[in-house]
Structure 1
């Protein structure tokens, strides 16, 4: 682990950091790579690093540009930097930073009025698909938009799209050549209208810096220190923009976790993070593995989930260590059908609320947005407020826009009444009643208006003499930064939308094969591993309470054909009812045929019997252990001067790597390993298994 002796920093600036955080924050200027596991304090670390560089005189605050991927994360960086006394440092999303720069340099590089930003591209994509002779239904347009966004983020031009889409094994909504035709037409229509989409902001800013020396010089004189958060999510386009910002310099700090790479479908890649030291051989590298967010029980489950990943690169092998006090064990529950699962989750939410857990500290997370409806209905039936994350933005909701319009025009008539009373009075005109509606959409609107009152209460408490104009300015600033107030309600969100958030209690629902991993990922090992990382992200959102559940059927009384997610195998305790059911399912005929250790079904083929798993059930082979077993077999075969398969066949090694026996009884239980093989090789094989299990998996 890297250590550092910060020079010139005020003694109290780094005092509150743990040794690894301190090493990263206090490292000298130059390239720094922070490999930060979930809940390890990465935002605290990088903001203290910026403050340290500013206070020690390495850089002025105005020369710092920190970029991340969401407006919320950028706002959090700015807030924390202000709290550390750093005023003037820029903390923005990639797109917001590029938009500012492009607007400033546009007259010089284009010489025309800056083009407007296209807020929604579907209208233009609709025109382009029509021109290409394709259908224009909304679902197809959204899928085509996704492909165009992937291509631009990956620096792929229309002419190159067909080849690159096939090479990347894209699941395209139409023939790749047709998508390329739509892509080309979209660019033409957009340029004719003199508008830019969000990807153009990055493309044109990069071009301005690469092709205009005076623009590059002016920018690089202004910004000298760069920080990139969530670096595992960078796309080739964002990396190229970052390179043009740097201009060959190395004053760069990156923070990321390859285990949380979940946006590969959009062009993101952890490669720049994992290859950072190849590009900057003198870089300081610090690993943050102390988890301050979650209980040790949640942390251990997270380690188990990601520890089973295949072909993990060295830079992703973080093993979290929980630093909170013990909490309850994660719970696993199997249900007959989805409504039963949703009803049980709603009942458990009620128990948490009765125990004093705030509704805003509870989340229900799922793989696809279509899963939310069943849980929305279950929560409504027990009168629990909720909000669906990833839907309409808070400040774009109709009732919120109406409320802000009313507040802007209210000040002349309100006299000297206190702020909270004024706000309540104004919002009563747009639907804020004294008592909440019983539920549904009306309750959602009421909750949104009440949250505006809570912002007024917060402002009145923290700003002396706060009045209505000051309050309206606060709301407009939040709207511009996309920083909505907390609405008191249970959060429903997809795993993707939950990234970067955390709650006291988290329910991970619908964890069945075909949903997680999603069905279209099957057959693609990279896609399957990204699905595993999604589950890891879900698990690490929980601070204390964690429930994982799945259902065997969609509808009550339906055929119970589903199986729990392959990612849960090995996580359930042996005495868990679902694990017992899998071992004993389908044994009514009373025969002695060997049965699948996963689903309980009969095994018919020789290879199935060898693996103790039917062909349709997913493998949970430990690839690292399998590699070590093959290495041992090769060495042993050479010693004995016999072919490797005489020691053990490949199928037997796969069975060992899947079942991971810990004693001779476990070895003998694997078909094809008899007493002679156990006597000859058993001790060696068990030693390999034990050494693999003893290695850090993070």
Structure 2
């Protein structure tokens, strides 16, 4: 490693960073952990750190591998690094990095061409399900595929799956035995066809590095410095691959926020982030808490949302400090039904557009994708253009594909003109005019898509000296491969999960009613409820200035108004808001508090109340009974054609398996089991207990 003068002799690079960002960017090589709250400039910090390491001579740009979790985030890293003059560093997703390495090393280790990658696994999952004797309905196959993905991400084999699923309290789509058989049959079918799925990219790369010393030595000589973004979402499989990359070295920078862990259902865990200093006692730890994204009003609400979380580990106790000027107070809205809520949101969106807010700077976020339909209709009725995130991919659109063909042709013999002028000239041949078409509709959408390609050219010309048409086309090709589209004008409709890593001037969080936020099947599981709270927190922190939070009391117009607003909203509404006043039932609520059936101590947590014992007292769970109950529930749910949690949640089955009620009276005494459930399922459950 070549020594070089400190960065203080190279003015400019770190001058625009705040003290904490500068401390992280200028930290000496070795393990660095950046605990970065929402909106605190983590991408700016890590890109400046990479540039600092390169300029200081600690490492060459080609020896750096930065990984993150989405193609968009990786594209953003590459764009910012290029603007800082760092061209050679690799910035990829975990899967893209593993695929590149596997393609290079496979012929040497396996001795043949690399197996093809299966883009969608449902066909193979369907074959496996049929072989086991299960149905092959689309939704059921997707549930099976998700469970296989969780197992592989968690490094769990088919043989180990049943026991691991019980420990993790998985809500499985079929019985544990059948799920393990489907998993094994899927792996057999995949290997027979000589194809890989996305998890195999990580598994096979890890195996090659762990089992072939000469390959590992070559890789580690090539890459010496690693940066991991969104480290709170790492899975056991990704951590194992990272360990194989490192090979015992410690030149590692990780960045994350445990308050934004929202993928536990897929195997992600903040534990590696929270335990980083235990693994690397000499690590430099920096906390970023200055929020540059949101107004103090939004920041205050976000702090109150996450401040109400239970059992927060020390590494997650970041307190955001707003740095922007004051803005409007968050708005809360209660509506009679979903249609009224959607209409009110659309009217407010129209108002913001008329006030000068760009449509691309407005987002409507919801918990599940099925909620989007009402908002699509409401926006269409007031003439507001919108984009459903997760719909048709930008680079798959017909007009964009036509534009790419024309641009590639022109790049083969580029005109001697400035880049933006050349791009506009080419796109004029495929429909880009100087002025947008009158009205809205499909013609305006096509025009907006072509104009966004011009904006990519403007961005490239501003950040890269001598940018020309071939370099621009290469940039578009890279963006297309990474699915990193430019911004297109239109209000964004997206799920809260899809909104992670994005931000807008105005954010509407809608459908904030119990059963939707938190989602129904999370109820009774304290860990799941806290993940739902973190998801809500992610939604709040997407807003820069305008924040709207709303819920409806009924699904349909004229329906019973029996919904309650989300529990996460209690304590957030201003005192003057009508919905902030407690109902008569809430005001009268009292009576004896539940107590532990073992030690007689008070029960405070939701899960403690359901189990009937406090967390300090030992569990007497009958794991075989728990497995039998889950098998019964799976079969019953399939007969009724409803999700398994509609019969009983995992938490309720866990309470039954612990308390083993002997009659209907004892069964109904378990929190969450009402008379209707006992009437419908009580005798069957008691029969399972007595089996």
TM range (shorter): 0.7 to 0.9
Q: 2:411 and 2:47 mapped to 1: Cα distance? A: 38
Which residue is 1:379 aligned to?
379
Which residue is 1:588 aligned to?
none
- CA contact 1:131–1:185 (8 Å) conserved in 2: yes
Which residue is 2:534 aligned to?
533
Deviations 1:553-577 (A, max 9, x none): 1111111010000000011122211
- Which among 437, 440, 445 is matched to residue 435 of structure 1? 437
Q: 1:469 and 1:274 mapped to 2: Cα distance? A: 45
- CA contact 1:424–1:432 (8 Å) conserved in 2: no
Q: 2:353 and 2:60 mapped to 1: Cα distance? A: 47
Q: Does 1:481 align with 2:471?
A: no
- CA contact 1:569–1:620 (8 Å) conserved in 2: no
Q: Using a 3 Å threshold, how does the CA distance of structure 1 residues 192 and 484 change in structure 2: closer, same or farther?
A: same
How far did 1:85 drift?
2.1
Q: Using a 3 Å threshold, how does the CA distance of structure 1 residues 101 and 467 change in structure 2: closer, same or farther?
A: closer
Which residue is 1:426 aligned to?
429
Q: 2:440 and 2:304 mapped to 1: Cα distance? A: 43
Q: 2:414 and 2:31 mapped to 1: Cα distance? A: 55
Deviations 1:93-117 (A, max 9, x none): 1111111111111112111111111
Deviations 1:409-468 (A, max 9, x none): 678999999535544443239x999626643x6765554345345546666888899876
- CA contact 1:423–1:453 (8 Å) conserved in 2: no
Which residue is 1:568 aligned to?
569
How far did 1:401 drift?
3.0
Deviations 1:109-156 (A, max 9, x none): 111111111111111112111112111111111111111111110001
Unmatched segments (≥5 aa) in structure 1? 585-594, 611-617, 624-698
- Which structure 2 residues correspond to residues 602-613 of structure 1 after superposition, within 5 A? 603=589, 606-607=591-592
Q: Does 1:210 align with 2:210?
A: yes
- CA contact 2:365–2:507 (8 Å) conserved in 1: yes
Q: Using a 3 Å threshold, how does the CA distance of structure 1 residues 89 and 469 change in structure 2: closer, same or farther?
A: closer
- Which structure 2 residues correspond to residues 446-457 of structure 1 after superposition, within 5 A? 447-452=448-453, 454-455=455-456
How far did 1:391 drift?
2.4
- CA contact 1:551–1:562 (8 Å) conserved in 2: yes
Which residue is 1:546 aligned to?
547
Q: 1:67 and 1:9 mapped to 2: Cα distance? A: 30
How far did 1:552 drift?
0.4
Which residue is 1:253 aligned to?
253
How far did 1:495 drift?
0.6
Which residue is 1:393 aligned to?
393
- CA contact 1:504–1:544 (8 Å) conserved in 2: yes
Bigger Cα displacement from structure 2, 174-183 vs 286-295? 174-183
Structure 1 residue matching 2:142: 3-state secondary structure: helix
Q: 1:216 and 1:22 mapped to 2: Cα distance? A: 33
Which residue is 1:491 aligned to?
492
Structure 1 residue matching 2:14: 3-state secondary structure: coil
Please report the TM-score for the alignment, with normalisation by the length of structure 1: 0.80
Q: 2:415 and 2:73 mapped to 1: Cα distance? A: 38
Q: 1:393 and 1:311 mapped to 2: Cα distance? A: 40
Q: 1:300 and 1:518 mapped to 2: Cα distance? A: 25
- Which structure 2 residues correspond to residues 83-102 of structure 1 after superposition, within 5 A? 83-102=83-102
Which residue is 2:133 aligned to?
133
Q: 1:192 and 1:535 mapped to 2: Cα distance? A: 43
Deviations 1:465-518 (A, max 9, x none): 987666544432321232211110000111100000011110000000000000
- CA contact 1:419–1:466 (8 Å) conserved in 2: no
- CA contact 2:82–2:464 (8 Å) conserved in 1: no
How far did 1:399 drift?
4.5
- CA contact 1:387–1:444 (8 Å) conserved in 2: no
Q: 1:502 and 1:619 mapped to 2: Cα distance? A: 36
Q: Does 1:288 align with 2:288?
A: yes
Bigger Cα displacement from structure 2, 536-545 vs 155-164? 155-164
Q: Using a 3 Å threshold, how does the CA distance of structure 1 residues 228 and 415 change in structure 2: closer, same or farther?
A: closer
Bigger Cα displacement from structure 2, 350-359 vs 412-421? 412-421
Q: Using a 3 Å threshold, how does the CA distance of structure 1 residues 246 and 459 change in structure 2: closer, same or farther?
A: closer
Q: Using a 3 Å threshold, how does the CA distance of structure 1 residues 176 and 25 change in structure 2: closer, same or farther?
A: same
